[in-house]
Structure 1
Amino acid sequence: MTLAIALVIVLGTVAGALAFGRRASSDMTNWAVGGRRFGTWLFWFMNAGEVYTTFAVLGISGYAWALGAPAYLAFTSVSLSYAIGYWLMPKIWRAGRRDDLLTQADFFASHYSARWLGVVTAVVGIAALVVYVQIQLVSLSLIVRLTLGTAVAPALAVVIGAVLMLAFVVLAGLRSAAFSAGIKDILMVVVVVVLAATAAGKVGAASPLDIFRLAEEQHPGIGKFPGLDPASPTTSVWLMTSALNVALGNWVFPHLFQVSYSAKSATSIRRNAIWQPLYSLAYFFIIMLGFAALVAKTEPEGGDLNGALLQFVADKFPAWLVGLVAGTAFLLALAPGSVLLLTSGSLFARNIVRPFRPGLSDRATLLLSRVSMVVFAGIAVWLTIGQQKSLVDILLSAYSAIGMLAPGVFLAFLWRRTSAVAVLLGIAAGFVALLAPFAKDFWAARLPDWEPGLIALAVNTVVVAGVSLARPRRETPAGEREAVAH
C-alpha cells in the first residue's frame, strides 16, 4: 500500500506537470524562465518551493531529533530571507526584463560589462548548485529505501533518485516545476497537519505542546542552545551568524535569479515576500515531529538523523499515511531538485560554452543544457554516495559557497563604483578564507561559534570595496542608473 500510494502521487503529479509545461519548453526563454509570465499564484508556488523542500521536512526534523534547539535556525533564516527578498528580487526582475537575461551569470556579464565575469560566476554557481542537489539526492535515497525496502543498497537508492529527478527535469521546464511545486505544497500542508494532530497520541503525550515537555524531561536542555550536545558549537552566536549567512545568500543562488526573472510583475514578487514568511510557522510542527521521534526512541537505520522522521512515521503510523508521506517527500525533492539541475544546465550552456561558441543556436543551447544536467547529476551522485552529513550541514556548505557571489550582487544595486575586477578578487579572497586550511584554523581559534561562510563573505566584501575604491570610477549606463534608483 505504501508503494502504491507513493507511486500514484508521484506519477500523477509528474504527468500533470509535463502536460502543463509541454508547450512551454521548446526554447531557452520558456524552458529556463517560464516565458516571464508567472503571475502571483504560480510565482507563489514556484518561490515557495524553496521554503518547503526535503531540507525543511527531513533536515530540520532530523536536526531537532539529533540536536534539539539548533533546529530553530529554520525560523530565523526564512524570515530574514524574505525581508531581503522584498528589496532585492524586484531589482533582479527589472534587470532581467531590461537586458533580456536568462541566468544569474548573464546579470554579472551585463551589469559589469565583462563576459569573462559571467564565465567565472557560472562556475561558482554550478558548484554551489551541485552541492545543493546533494540534499535532494540524500532525501530521495531515504524515500526509495522506505518505499522499496531496506534491501535496496544506499548507493543504488541514490542512483535511482538521480534517475527519477533527471527523467522529470530533462523533459520539463520551469512551468512544469512550478506545477509540481504547487501540488507538493498542498500535500505538504496536509501531511504536516495530519502528523502534528496525531503525533501526541503515538508517543504518550497529552497534546502536541506536551511533546516538548516530555522531550525536556527525557533530555534536559534540549530546548536551549547548544542543544543535546553541550560540546556542540551550535550556540546562539552560531544561530545568528548562520541565519544571517543563509539570508544574505538565499536570493544569490542562480536558480532563484531565474525564478525572479520568471515573474510577470514586481508586484507578484513583493506580495510573495510579504506573505511567504508565514510558511515558516510550519517549522514549529516539523520541529515538534523531530522531538516526537526522539521521545518515541526512534532509531533510524545507521543512526542517520536525516531519516529520523521517515523512520518515526514508518514505526508509528498506518501504511496509507506512510505512502502519503513518501509520495509527498518524493515531490519535495523532485520539484526543487529539477530547478537546481535546470539552472546548472542553463549556466553551463549559456555562460560557459556559448561565450566560446557565439554562433551556437538557441536550439543547440537548449539541447546542451539538457545533456549537461546528466553530468551534473552524476557528480552530485558521486558526492552523495557514502554521505553521512546532515541535510542542514550540507545546506550551510552550499550557502557558504554561493555567498561568495553575494557582494557582487548587492553592491551592483547599491554602489555604482563596484568593478568586475573587484568582484573577481573578492570571490578569490572569500574562497581562501572559507577553504584554506590555515584560514579554517585561524577562524576556529578566534571565532569558534561563528558560521565560517559569513566570515568568508565579510572578507569578500572588504576586498571588493577596497579594490573598487582603488580603481577609477566607471561610468554606468542610464538604464542601470534607473534600476539602481528603483
Structure 2
Amino acid sequence: MNWTALIVFTLLFGFITALGFVAANWRRGDLDLLHEWGLAGRRLGTWVVWFLLGGDVYTAYTFIAVPALVFGAGAIGFFALPYTIIVYPLVFLILPRMWSVAHKHNYITAADFVQGRYGNRWLALAIAVTGIVATMPYIALQLVGIEVVIGAMGVQAEGILGELPLIIAFVILAAFTYTSGLRAPAMIAVVKDTLIYITVIAMVIVIPIEIGGYTKIFAAIPESKLLLASPKDGNLGQYSAYATLALGSAFALFLYPHTVTAILSSSGREVIRRNAAFLPAYSFLLGLLAITGFMALALNVDKLPEYAPQFARYRSNFAVPALILHSFPNWFVGVAFAAIAIGGLVPAAIMSIAASNLFTRNIYVQFIRPDCTPRQEAQNAKIVSLIVKFGALVFILALPLQYAIQLQLLGGIWISQTIPAVIVSLYSRWLNPWALLIGWAVGIVSGTWMAASQAFQSAVVPLTLDGLTIPGYAALYALGLNFATAIVLSLVLNPIRATRGMDQTVAADYRL
C-alpha cells in the first residue's frame, strides 16, 4: 500500500467531492426544474464552458485509454490526435445552429430537436435510446480509469472487495450529481483541468530527462510500433484504419448526449464559437499524453516485476500509472492519480445527467407520464441519473477489454447513427422521418454486428471491394448503410404527405 500517495489522493478527492455539493449554491437556480438541474440554467459563459467541454472530452480516455493503446499497439493510437483537430471546425459551423433552435423552443436534448423538427416521437425515441446506450460504455471508461489508479496505489482485493473502488466512485458520483446537477461537474472541471495540466507538464519534462531525452525514447521504440504498417497484398491495413478511426470519431464526438448538454448549457452562440477556437489547446495536451505511451514502452514498465500483478489485472491500461509510479515521488503520484480519477469523475457526472435528460424528456414524459409537472420531471431525471451509472458498471464487468479505448469506440458506432436525423436535419428536412428511423435501425444492427464479429475487442473491421481489403472503423461503414437506406426510402415515402410530420421550427430559429 502506497500510503503517502493514497493520503494525498484522498485529500484531493475529498476536496472535489465537497466542491460538488457546494456547487448546488453556485449561480443559484431552482434545481427542481430540469433546465436548471440538467443545463445549469443555460447561463454558462465562455471560460466555464471551456473547462466543462474540456472535462467532457478530455477524460480518463485521454489519460488512460489513449496512452494504453499507443503502448500496446503503437502508432495507430495517435488517431485520437487528428480527430480532435478535425472536430472543432465542425463545432464552429454546426453547433451554434443547434443552440439557437434549442434556445428558442426550450429543447434540452438532441431528441427534443428531432421530435420538434419532424413531429415523430418514434424517431425521437430512437435517438434518445441510442444516446443513453452509447453513453454507458463511455461512463464505464471513466470508471475503469478510476479503478486502475486506485489499484495502482495498492488498494486491491479479490471478489466483491476488488470492485470496491468502483462502488465508492459510484456513490460519490451519484451523490453530488443528484444534489447539484450540471453545476457540480462545471465547477469541478476547473480543478480537474488544472491538476491534469500540472501532471502532464511534469511528465513530459521529468520522464524524458530520466530516460536521456526524446531521442532515446523514440530510438527505443520498435519500428513496428513507431510507424503505421504499410499497405501490402491488396490490404490497406493500418492506413485506412487510422484514417477512418479519426474521421468517424470526429463525426461522433459532439453527438454524444454529454457534449450536446455542455453545448446547450452555454449562454449564447458566441460562447460555442469561441470554444471551438480555444479547445485545440486540449489537443496539444492529448498529443503530449499519447507520447507517454512511448515513454512507458521505452522504460519497459510492463517488464518490471513490482508491477506484474497490476499488468496482469489491468493489462495495457496500467501503462501510465506504472510510468508515474516509476518516475515520481509518492506525494506527486497522489496528485497525478487524483487528476486521473477526477478526470473520470467529471465527465461521468455530465454523461449521467445527459442520459437522464434523454430518458426523462423523450421517454418518461412522451410515453409514460405526459401530464407530469416540471418538478416531477426534474425529480425523475435525478433518479434516472443514478440508474444510468449501474448500466455503465455492466459494460465493465461484461466486456473484458485489453484496451479501455474500445469502450469509447463501441459507443461511437452507435451514436454515429444519429447523424442523419440530428446533424443533417439542422440544414434540411428533405429526409423522411420514417426513412430516417429505418436507416437508423439498419445502421445500429449492422454496426453492432460488425463489432460483435470482432468479439467486441476491436471496432475496426475489414471491408473487401473488388479484391481490395479496407480495414475501417465500423461506425463509418454502418453510417454509409444508414444514409443509403434513408435516402432511398425518402424518395419512396416523401410523395406520401402523411409520412412527413409537422415541423415546429422555422428558418429564423436557426439564426438567433
TM-score (norm 2): 0.88
Aligned match of 1:345: 356
Counterpart for residue 374 of structure 2: 362
Q: Which moved more, 1:440-449 or 1:37-46?
A: 440-449
Secondary structure at the aligned position of 1:249 is classed as helix
Shift of 1:355: 1.2
**Backbone CA RMSD of aligned residues:** 2.4
Larger mean CA deviation between 434-443 and 178-187 belongs to 434-443
Do 2:181 and 2:353's aligned partners in 1 also have CA atoms closer than 8 Å? yes
Are 2:464 and 1:451 aligned? no
Structure 1 residue 412 corresponds to structure 2 residue 425: yes
SS of match in other structure, 1:436? helix
Structure 2 distance, partners of 1:164, 1:296, is 35
Q: Give the counterpart of 2:183 among 156, 170, 175.
A: 175
Cα drift, residue 297 of structure 1: 1.2
1:45-99 superposed Cα distances (whole Å, 9 cap, x missing partner):
1111233201011111111111110121121110111111111110110111111
Q: Which residue of the other structure, out of 483, 487, 508, is the alignment partner of 1:465?
A: 487
Report if the CA contact (8 A) 2:17-2:172 is conserved. no
Q: Tell me what 2:268 maps to.
A: 265
The answer for the alignment partner of 1:314 in structure 2 is: 325
1:283 is matched with 286
Q: CA 1:14/1:274 → structure 2, altered by over 3 Å: closer, same or farther? A: same
Aligned CA distance change for structure 1 residues 171 and 147 (closer, same or farther; 3 Å): farther
SS of equivalent to 2:371: coil
Q: 2:393 aligns with which of 341, 361, 381?
A: 381
Partner of 1:424: 437
Shift of 1:234: 6.3
Q: What is the total number of aligned residue pairs between the two structures?
A: 477
Q: 2: CA distance between counterparts of 1:279 and 1:443? A: 29
Pairing 1:81-100 to 2, within 5 Å after superposition: 81-100=87-106
Deviation at 1:140, TM superposition (A): 1.3
Paired letter, 1:331: I
Give the match for residue 212 of structure 1: 218
Structure 2 residue 201 is matched with structure 1 residue 193: yes
CA deviations on 1:227-274 (whole Å, 9 max, x unpaired) are 9xxxx9960211111111111111111222221111111111001101
Of 82-91 and 384-393, more deviation after overlay is shown by 384-393
Code of the aligned partner of 1:470 = V
Q: Distance in 2 between matches of 1:234 and 1:320?
A: 44
Amino acid at match of 1:444: P
Partner Cα separation in structure 2 for residue 234 and residue 12 of structure 1: 47
Whether the 8 Å CA contact 2:450–2:461 is kept in 1: the answer is no
State percent identity of aligned pairs: 24
**Secondary structure at the residue paired with 1:264?**
coil
CA–CA separation in structure 2 for the residues paired with 1:439 and 1:54: 25
Matches within 5 A, 1:81-230: 81-147=87-153, 149-151=155-157, 153-202=161-210, 204-205=211-212, 207-215=213-221, 219-226=222-229
**Partners of 2:450 and 2:74 in 1: how far apart?**
30
Give structure 2 stretches of 5+ with no counterpart.
303-309, 455-459
Q: What is the Cα deviation at residue 477 of structure 1?
A: 5.2
Compare 386-395 and 361-370 and name the one that shifted more: 386-395
Give a deviation string over 1:105-163, Cα, whole Å, max 9, x none.
Answer: 21111111122322221111111011211101111111221235233654333333322
What's the offset of the Cα at 1:401? 0.7
440-449 or 280-289, which deviates more: 440-449
Does 2:311 correspond to 1:301? yes
Q: Distance in 1 between matches of 2:136 and 2:507?
A: 34
- For residue 260 of structure 1, give the secondary structure of its aligned residue in structure 2: helix
Structure 1 residues 350 and 226: CA distance shift in structure 2, 3 A: same
C-alpha distance in structure 2 between counterparts of 1:80 and 1:225, whole Å? 20
CA shift digits 1:210-236 (9 cap, x unpaired):
422232xxx233211149xxxx99602
CA pair 266-484 structure 1, distance change in 2 beyond 3 A: closer
Greater mean alpha carbon deviation, residues 275-284 or residues 13-22: 13-22
Matched to 1:192, the amino acid is V
Structure 1 residues 431 and 271: CA distance shift in structure 2, 3 A: same
Query: Do the aligned partners of residues 366 and 234 (structure 1) sit closer, same or farther apart at CA in structure 2, a change above 3 Å counting?
Result: farther
Q: TM-score, normalization: structure 1?
A: 0.92
Aligned-pair distance for 1:440?
Answer: 5.2
Task: Look up the SS of the partner of 2:506 in the other structure.
Answer: helix
Change (3 A) 1:19 1:73: same
Q: What letter corresponds to residue 404 of structure 2 in structure 1?
A: L
Deviation for aligned residue 1:318? 0.8
Q: CA deviation at 1:459?
A: 1.0
What do the CA deviations read for 1:273-306 (whole angstroms, capped 9, x no partner)?
0121132112232122111111111124216111
Distance 1:257 1:275 in 2: 18
Q: Is the 8 A contact 2:115 2:123 kept in 1?
A: yes
Other-structure match for 2:252: 249
Aligned partners of 2:87 and 2:251 also within 8 Å: yes
- In 1, the alpha carbon distance for the partners of 2:360 and 2:452 equals 34
Aligned partner of residue 89 in structure 1, secondary structure: helix
Q: For 1:71 and 1:437, how far apart are their aligned partners in 2?
A: 20
1:481 and 2:492 matched: no
Q: Counterparts of 2:194 and 2:270 in 1: how far apart (Å)?
A: 23
Task: Identify if the C-alpha distance between structure 1 residues 155 and 364 changes in structure 2 by more than 3 Å, giving closer, same or farther.
Answer: same
d(CA) in 2 for partners of 1:128 and 1:435? 11
For the pair 1:324 / 2:350, whether they are aligned, the reply is no
Query: Would the aligned equivalents of 2:102 and 2:113 in 1 still touch at CA under 8 Å?
Result: yes
One-letter code of the match for 1:482? A
On the 8 A contact 2:119/2:503 being kept in 1, the answer is no
Letter of the structure 1 residue corresponding to residue 472 of structure 2: W
Structure 1 gap segments, 5+ residues each: none
Q: Which SS does the other structure have where 2:462 is aligned? A: helix
Contact 2:39-2:265 within 8 A present in 1 as well: yes
Quote the Cα distance in structure 1 between the aligned partners of 2:401 and 2:165: 14
| Paired residue secondary structure (1:222) | helix
